[in-house]
Amino acid sequence: MTRLIDHIAALGVIIFVILYIYAASFYPGGSVVDPSSVGYDWFHNYWCDLMYKQSLDGAKNLARPIAITAWVILCLSILYILIKIIGQLFPSGNIKNSLLVLATLAMFFGLLAATDNHDLFVMLSFPFGAITVLALAWQAQASNSKLLSVGAWFVVISLTASFIMYFTSIGLYWIGFIQKIALALSFLWIVRFYYYVLNNQQ
């Protein structure tokens, strides 16, 4: 049975989405594809564009304070969710402890992605997060939910594709769109897995 406090993390993910949409309305303009575009382009702009001090059209980025607030809420919420899932799937032992460290490092470096060294901290966060997600994806195969077991691999593939495309500029035109699909799939899957674990805990 879930406790009231257990819903706070999921609520944090929803708050992130709301603040993300709100922050986008303050973004002056510019994207990697078209630096002269006006406003936030939901197809071409990246999430991280909202956290830069200066928008890609050269103007002061008014979306930044809201976007960073949303990012902090998201990282803390996801970390709580990961800790709960890992604690339930791996009750004790080195695997549990290792995954807790990996998840914490992934979210710690993820938080720092809101700084001027965004790309560096994304690169540091990704391997820790990838190993954690792969471990959970593997465990999801033992669930009685096709949504969780199949969805896990869609999350792994979409996040990996988004990461590779961002750092290689392969498919530059599509990166903003692919990133949003990856984030949406990740949020839906991790929250669904979270409640699956909570509802099946002893």
pLDDT for 79 beyond 60: yes
pLDDT digits (tens, 9 = 90+) for 6-59: 889 999 999 999 999 999 999 999 999 999 999 999 999 999 999 999 999 999
Q: What is the pLDDT of residue 57?
A: 92
CA 56 to CA 34: how far, in whole Å? Answer: 9
Its sign, for the CA torsion 151, 24, 121, 65, is negative
Q: How many alpha carbons lie under 13 Å from residue 200 in its C-beta half-sphere?
A: 15
Domain residue ranges in the chain: 6-200
Look up the pTM and report it. 0.91
pLDDT digits (tens, 9 = 90+) for 99-147: 999 999 999 999 999 999 999 999 999 999 999 999 999 988 888 888 8
